[in-house]
C-alpha cells in the first residue's frame, strides 16, 4: 500500500518505520515547543497525508515517551478524506515540563482498515451474560 505524504513546510520530516515489519510509522515534530506538566498541546508535524479510501490513520503513543516522560496521545483519527496538517494532541501527565525538539519522534501512526457499520435503530438489544455491567463488572478491583 502506498501512503502519499506532503510536506507543508521546510521544517517537516517525513515519517519513518524504525524497523521492517513495524506496525506504526514514527511521526516527528516540525518545531520545538514546551508542553507544561498537566498541559495539553497540539504538536505540528508539518505533514499532510493521503490515506487510501477504506483505511484510517490512528495516532498512538510512543511507548518510551509514555513510560519515561508521561506523554499520552489524546485522540488521533486521520480519516482518508482529510488533507490538512496532521497534528498530534499530547497530554503531559509527567512530573515536569517536556520540551519537544524539532525533528524528534512524538507519536506513531498505524494505518488500519475501516469497517463502517450500518446504523439501525431498535427498541431492544439482545441479552448477554454481562448485560449492562460496566466499570468493575469483571470482578477487578
Q: Collect the ranges in the chain with pLDDT lower than 70.
A: 137, 140-141
Tell me the per-residue pLDDT of 3-32, one tens digit each, with 9 for 90 and over: 999 999 999 999 999 999 999 999 999 999
For residue 29, tell me if it sits in a domain: yes
CATH number of the domain to which 63 belongs = 2.70.40.10
pLDDT, residue 134, reads: 72
Distance, in Å, from the CA atom of 88 to the CA atom of 31, rounded to the nearest integer, reads 12
Q: Which residues pair with 6 in a beta bridge?
A: 48
Within a domain: residue 139? no
Domain presence at residue 129: no
Grid cell, residue 94, equals 509527567
Q: Is residue 119 in some structural domain?
A: no
SS3 assignment, position 43:
strand
Query: How many domains, in total, are found in the chain?
Result: 1
Kindly state whether residue 21 falls inside one of the protein's structural domains.
yes
Residues 6+ apart with CB under 8 A from 14: 5, 7, 47
Amino acid at each position: 500500500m502506498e501512503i502519499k505524504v506532503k510536506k507543508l513546510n521546510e521544517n517537516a520530516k517525513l515519517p519513518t518505520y524504525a524497523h521492517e515489519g513495524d506496525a506504526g510509522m514514527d511521526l516527528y515534530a516540525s518545531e520545538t515547543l514546551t508542553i507544561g506538566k498537566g498541559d495539553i498541546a497540539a504538536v505540528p508535524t508539518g505533514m499532510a497525508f493521503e490515506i487510501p479510501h477504506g483505511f484510517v490513520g490512528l495516532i498512538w503513543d510512543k511507548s518510551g515517551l509514555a513510560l519515561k516522560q508521561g506523554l499520552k496521545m489524546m485522540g488521533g483519527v486521520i480519516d482518508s478524506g482529510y488533507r490538512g496538517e496532521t497534528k498530534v494532541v499530547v497530554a503531559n501527565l509527567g512530573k515536569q515540563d517536556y520540551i519537544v525538539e524539532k525533528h524528534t519522534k512524538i507519536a506513531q501512526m498505524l494505518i488500519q482498515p475501516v469497517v463502517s457499520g450500518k446504523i439501525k435503530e431498535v427498541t431492544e438489544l439482545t441479552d448477554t451474560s454481562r448485560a449492562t455491567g460496566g466499570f468493575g463488572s469483571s470482578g477487578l478491583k
